Amino acid sequence: MHVLITGGAGYIGTELVKSLASKADVHTITIYDNLSRANYNVFIGNAFHGNNKVQFIKGELLDSRALRKVLKNVDVVYHLAAKVTTPFDNTDPHFYEQVNHWGTAELVYAVEDTPSVKQFFFVSSTSVYGANTDWVNEATAPHPHTVYGTSKLRAEDHVNRLKNKINTVILRCGNVYGYSKSMRFDAVINKFMFDAHYTNRLTIHGNGNQHRSFIHVSEAVKALTEALIQDIEPGTYNLVNRTMQVLDVVESLKELQPELEFIFINQHLQLRELRVERNEVLNEKFGITPSKSLIEELDQFRQEFAF
């Protein structure tokens, strides 16, 4: 089969390319990315030497002509491309709306005009739920509180049009963490890991009691890979496997690094709560329940730093 990955040079994309390249029934993988994050790590090293499956096309989601050209003969689309630096999304809401919302719309329009495409996987975000003091699941009505979350929900609306035409799956990812050579350091656990390792000090916004739901990058990639191989009903699924307070992460790091210091910024603020229920069917089907404790994962993570 022929696979297209938008945002294939990104955090999840880099690992997904590597995973799919090892599958015998995947014949070609096209990375479609505008390299806006200036992340070139997917191109470095010899991971694909002797493997002629992987190719790269630099392009924009809003370039409808380029999308239709690159989709020719593609069987499966993974749509990962997005503007994702959420702490700063309110500084340029138009950019998020253009890329995440209308960029997805252009991709869906192009897929609708491409008969060869039979499967479509969209990586959305649990940010579409906004904030909630109760646990949320797929039956909970989305109510995003950020420009990023709103743009992803609007993107979902376009993707949902495909469900009656092709096998379409939306995966709402929690906060992604864990080592990848294309990792993001604006993600909370990854930033904590860097700061703990190199500065011995963490900065915690609010009181640290706020809950967040997480998914390790390796487990996210496993789910995306297995969704291609195994039968999965079209629909929308939450892709999370840990829910914890920010202070839980801090305490785990303190166990690994007892001398670690931390300071609170605006400790009086009660930041938003979001606790997302694991989709047990998805977790059991794809085997993405954590096999290690958080401390074990973080310890393995810090071994990847260069010095």
Statement to judge: residues 133 and 256 lie in one domain = no
Statement to judge: residues 81 and 119 lie in one domain = yes
Statement to judge: residues 203 and 146 lie in one domain = no
d(CA 163, CA 69): 23
Q: Give the phi and the psi of residue 51 in degrees, each rounded to 5.
A: -115, 110
Chain centroid offset of residue 169 CA: 14
Q: Which residues of 230-242 are buried (b: 16+ CB within 10 A; e: fewer)?
A: eebeeebbbbbbb
Domain extent for 121:
2-177+213-242
- Tokens, residue 90: 């309110």
Q: How many domains does the chain have?
A: 2
Domain-embedded: residue 99 = yes
Give the SS3 label for residue 210.
coil
Statement to judge: residues 115 and 222 lie in one domain = yes
Give the type of residue at 200.
N
Domain-embedded: residue 55 = yes
Q: What is the DSSP string of 238-288?
A: EE--EEEEHHHHHHHHHHH-TT-EEEEESTT--PPP-EE---HHHHHHHT-
Task: Tell me the pLDDT of the chain (307 aa) as tens digits.
Answer: 999 999 999 999 999 999 999 999 999 999 999 998 888 999 988 777 777 899 999 999 999 999 999 999 999 999 999 998 655 556 678 888 999 999 999 999 999 999 999 999 999 999 999 999 999 999 999 999 999 999 999 999 999 999 999 999 999 999 999 999 999 999 999 999 999 999 999 999 999 999 999 999 999 999 999 999 888 899 999 999 999 999 999 999 999 999 999 999 988 888 889 999 999 888 888 988 888 999 999 999 999 999 9
Statement to judge: residues 166 and 254 lie in one domain = no
d(CA 299, CA 202): 17
Element (H, E) at 134: none
pTM over 0.85: yes
Over the stretch 60-105, which tens digit does the pLDDT of each residue have? 999 999 999 999 999 999 999 999 865 555 667 888 899 999 999 9
Going by C-alpha positions, the residue among 32, 77, 72 that lies closest to residue 55 is 32
